[in-house]
Structure 1
């Protein structure tokens, strides 16, 4: 029997997919790249974006049509709103919450009946189930990059976001499990490890002192780096500005293995919009975090998330976001036009910024990003950087990798054996959104 899995959404879904694959292969199913060859096919959905949900409907329509001529089992899980979940019950053979993954083999044995397991909330203990889920070993999709979930759910309830309704309240994974997984990955030679959570820097707060906090977790991971000669970089996403204290920045500055790249979502540069978004932080509070980063880790790159055209956003408020872009000089910003999501508080509010204006604001903010990121990129020229080679580049005859600060660099080489290795590259040219260099040496850079 063969299986195929489609993964939509964020890195958390990507991490979850690695555990789904391990369960399926433990049952004897074999992965195939071509979904048309699969006997069982599933999708990890994302209700956070309407485009992702639209893709689910497109996929299941094709799969159900295939059922007319062949035996096929379909399933869906992931980050799904209750309203979407109910609709999917009529379309998929199996619907389940990700925390119920350990029960998946039993569900498959009864695949002839649509399984509303994910809706049986009254008979479940979500916290116990997510801890059981975390004990499922992942089948890592890469031999040198890995994602480690440290937390599930969110307690912040930003008015634009559906995550608290798709993943529930915050639950922290036992630190012993996280530290052991990091150690095992390092021993196996992994070079890039990303800690995942909806609000990673509130890690441990749900355990009321029975668990270490996020800074202490990073400190323990940093000690692993100090105890080995192997070079590796550890990242995390995403922290919340409200909980981004100086202590976390101090720990990152302390250890070489903690990647000097911070992804800190601002969402808007206007305080009134932030209040309406229920972000629970001001621009001033955000600025204090950035000042701590610039002081203690001056070499760190800074990434963010921004929403343009949020309900009621005025031109003046948008201009404040442009000011924030220029002030904080982001290396990368993931900019999205606001769209309503069922379940989120703002769903009932008017989506009153014209689509044309949203597109204009997106374009302007992207131009601003190009100016500030381009300035940083130009300063890289004629300097040498260690990069982790990740893949072939879209430019023929080139490979692509990332610096410790996650700046993507391409260089001329067709030696695919370099993928997954550290190399030294000298930057020869840069534009606002691209950096190019030449290979200087391939040496024993796996050792710090």
Structure 2
């Protein structure tokens, strides 16, 4: 069971690979398993609540059968301490290569139980990155490029769950991206807690994020298969205009930018310890719009942060009105143990947080609907991802990650990049009609 962000999803693919190599066989249901676990997310309380519900159920099963439980993922030290009393095996993601040895200690024989112990946390994460993932999808993949965070935003627990920033060797990243692209993967997402600070921890002994994107772009020109490369999540403090110029230069670099705002009020940003101003963010946004006018822009926003006033919320709404985002992931603030703001009184009521959430959601919808309606009549490339909820339809996303569906029952289209003519628009989705179908479908 995997909870949390895309990084946890990517981590789960490496866990699956290690378990396969250790001789474990995947079963269809929890009830059939003799070894079962969770990749947790201490960043959100709801995710931790799910962990406690699951382990309570699994521990009851131990009265009736042999069962070994494990937990990993993003864990605060306080959560990890409690989990040690509830789960049989508790390990951090960098300790994943040691999992076979841990299994051996519980009597689960496997060929990898004698793997050598790493000597330091850096060695641990390097060994982890060398684990070849067992990708969940045949056409979409996540590639981690760095781990940890040095920013210490006051609302965030990630520096305490993932540790300090460590960049993965660029040659490993580029090799993994090339292998995926040559195998026919259609989207590849570069992952990190702060992707655009990539390489800064290496003191000039590694390329930076813009240079990494340049090498990926050059790779795209060498490979015949069409694919799109995205990245998440960047920090405004490290976002430079050369990144936009490189994305504009290469067709394989997806024309969608995730650019977290968090708040449109200067005082709230200071209290969040974001280390950037609204004016600096605006300056970067103007450069983005000028250099990449075709790009869609997604953002993250927190409402109801400690002591946020109605006037400060209005400042955020005005920034949303100014930048007209294509998507905003709006979250109601909740204190997390370990984060600095946990020590502060949560002064905004849940009722007010819900009201503010509704205000910003309405503001977002106004602009997404206008943008989507302007797409009607245009022909766009689309990666078909799955069956749509509407019967007889398939759905996917554009190069800019706008969701679009179309009428078809041809399952061979799933995992292919096709062309659709946009015929209708809603607040958060499009509808289209088939224009071209690749020969392989």
Specify the TM-score bucket, using the shorter chain as the normaliser.
over 0.9
**In 2, Cα distance between equivalents of 1:445 and 1:281:** 48
Alignment of 1:64-213 (within 5 A): 64-111=59-106, 125-213=120-208
**In 2, Cα distance between equivalents of 1:239 and 1:67:** 43
**In 2, Cα distance between equivalents of 1:395 and 1:14:** 27
Which of residues 292, 299, 304 in structure 2 aligns to 1:297? 292
Secondary structure at the counterpart of residue 329 of structure 2: strand
**Alpha-carbon offset, residue 443 of structure 1:** 2.6
Q: Specify the alignment match of 1:246 in structure 2.
A: 241
**In 2, Cα distance between equivalents of 1:34 and 1:335:** 33
- After superposition, the C-alpha distances for 1:258-302 in whole angstroms (9 at most, x for unaligned) are 000000100000010000000001111111111111111100000
Contact 2:416 2:438 (C-alpha < 8 Å) held by counterparts: no
Contact 2:37 2:69 (C-alpha < 8 Å) held by counterparts: yes
Secondary structure at the counterpart of residue 7 of structure 1: coil
**In 2, Cα distance between equivalents of 1:273 and 1:125:** 38
Alignment of 1:223-302 (within 5 A): 223-302=218-297
Compute the TM-score of the two structures, normalised by the length of structure 2: 0.96
Which of residues 8, 16, 21 in structure 1 aligns to 2:3? 8
- After superposition, the C-alpha distances for 1:214-268 in whole angstroms (9 at most, x for unaligned) are 0000000001001122110000000100000111111111100000000010000
**In 1, Cα distance between equivalents of 2:242 and 2:385:** 31
Secondary structure at the counterpart of residue 330 of structure 1: coil
Secondary structure at the counterpart of residue 231 of structure 2: strand
Runs of 4+ in 1 over 4 A off after TM superposition: none
Which of residues 383, 388, 404 in structure 1 aligns to 2:383? 388
User: What is the alpha-carbon root mean square deviation over aligned residues?
Assistant: 1.3
**In 1, Cα distance between equivalents of 2:387 and 2:359:** 31
**Alpha-carbon offset, residue 373 of structure 1:** 0.8
Q: Which runs of 5+ in 1 are unaligned?
A: 1-5, 114-122
Contact 1:423 1:445 (C-alpha < 8 Å) held by counterparts: no
Q: Specify the alignment match of 2:111 in structure 1.
A: none
**Alpha-carbon offset, residue 440 of structure 1:** 1.8
**Alpha-carbon offset, residue 68 of structure 1:** 1.1
Contact 1:231 1:445 (C-alpha < 8 Å) held by counterparts: no
The number of residues matched between the two structures is: 432
Contact 1:93 1:112 (C-alpha < 8 Å) held by counterparts: no
**Alpha-carbon offset, residue 39 of structure 1:** 1.4
**Alpha-carbon offset, residue 438 of structure 1:** 1.5
Q: Which runs of 5+ in 2 are unaligned?
A: 109-117
**In 1, Cα distance between equivalents of 2:440 and 2:254:** 16
**In 2, Cα distance between equivalents of 1:445 and 1:18:** 27
Q: Residues 444 and 108 of structure 1: is their aligned pair in 2 closer, same or farther, counting only changes over 3 Å?
A: same
Query: Bigger shift: 433-442 or 188-197?
Result: 433-442
Q: Residues 124 and 347 of structure 1: is their aligned pair in 2 closer, same or farther, counting only changes over 3 Å?
A: farther
Q: Specify the alignment match of 2:112 in structure 1.
A: none
**Alpha-carbon offset, residue 30 of structure 1:** 1.5
